[in-house]
Structure formats: C-alpha cells, structure tokens
Amino acid sequence: MRKIMLMSSVSLDGFFEGPDRDISWHLVNEELSRYLNEEFRTMGAFMFGRVTYELMAGVWPTADRHPDLSASQIEFAGIWLDMPKFLFSRTVTEAGWNTTVIHDVVPEQIAELKAQPGGDIVLSGANLAATFMRQGLIDEFQIFVHPVVLGQGRRLFEVADVRVNLNLEGTRTFSNGVVSLRYSVDRA
C-alpha cells in the first residue's frame, strides 16, 4: 500500500514561509535539487492545497522558458508535469497538467488512493497537511530544516489539537547546511 508523505521545508524556528509568503530563504542548491528529483521520481502522485498548487502551476509548466533555471530544476519541471496530481480545493473546479480536483478530504477516498498501485504520494501545503494530520492520514514526514531563523511567518505545524508520535527513519545533511529529517508515524 502506498504511503502519504508530508514533504516540506522549514526554517530552524519552524516557519515554512516568511511574511507575505516569502520563501526566498529556501536554500535549494544543485545537490539538494538532485536529491529531491531522485525522491520525486519514485513517487506516484503529488497532493496539494490550492495555494501550493497555484504556486507550482505558476512556474513549472513553463520552466523550459526560464533561462535562469538549472538543469535539475528543468528536470523537476518534467517530473511535475508528468506526475499525477491531486488538488484539494473547494473553489477550483478544474485544473490542467494531469491534475484531479478533489473538494474535500474524505478518509475513505484517501484510503482508495493509497490502495492504488504506484509509488508513495507527496503531500504539500500547510492547510492541507493540518487536515490530514487531524484525520491521521499522514504516514511519513520528510522535513528539510534550513539554516535560518526567520522570527516570524507561518508555522508549518499550526495544529495544536493533534499529537503525532514519530520514529526517526533517517537524516541527511547537505553541503548548504540544510538537514533532512525523515520520520514514520508511530501507530502503536
């Protein structure tokens, strides 16, 4: 059965975005970019909330027209375009680029998606992650901690009414100071 993996970047003090949705502090060098592409190539689908999806759809479909993007970023654009995507939104009715729109998070529907063949599913977006956490639908977390303290912004884990016990599955340190922490959910 496929797993749902929340994958996100955070500052050392736990913010996934700074004020005004600023993510310019993300330190994605070639090494980290290649690693992410390797991870994404094994996945079976992406799940996004509306805000994250719109951010991604604003860049990756036309990435080949951006001369300032690296080869690994262009490679990611191809991965993103080809990968099945699930957009969770109550306002969007249709989307392009191999995307299925789902209006509500229904645990039985998520179980059906997980039971389909293919690689694991990457979950992205703080609001969507909060909903999945409340319903116990996340199986793994891969958090990329960036060596910066923002002091303000939006925290990745704003859900105060949920406790999730985790087991450390692995770590990796990148040359730019980013550290990947990978955890599975302890269902015991």
* HSE (side-chain half, CA atoms, 13 Å) at 141: 23
How confident is residue 181, by pLDDT bands cut at 50, 70 and 90?
very high
Q: Distance between CA atoms of 18 and 8, rounded to whole angstroms?
A: 14
Judge whether 3 and 119 are in contact, CB under 8 Å.
no
**Entry pTM:** 0.92
pLDDT at 160: 66
Residue 64 has pLDDT above 80, yes or no: no
Judge whether 25 and 148 are in contact, CB under 8 Å.
yes
In this structure, what token pair is assigned to residue 20? 């005004």
Domain holding 128, by residue range, is 4-185
pLDDT at 147: 97
Q: Work out how many domains the chain is built from and give that number.
A: 1
Q: Is 172 left (phi over 0), alpha (psi -120 to 50) or beta?
A: beta
Average pLDDT, the chain: 91
pLDDT (mean) for 118-128? 92
For residue 125, the domain's CATH number is 3.40.430.10
Judge whether 34 and 70 are in contact, CB under 8 Å.
no
pLDDT at 153: 94
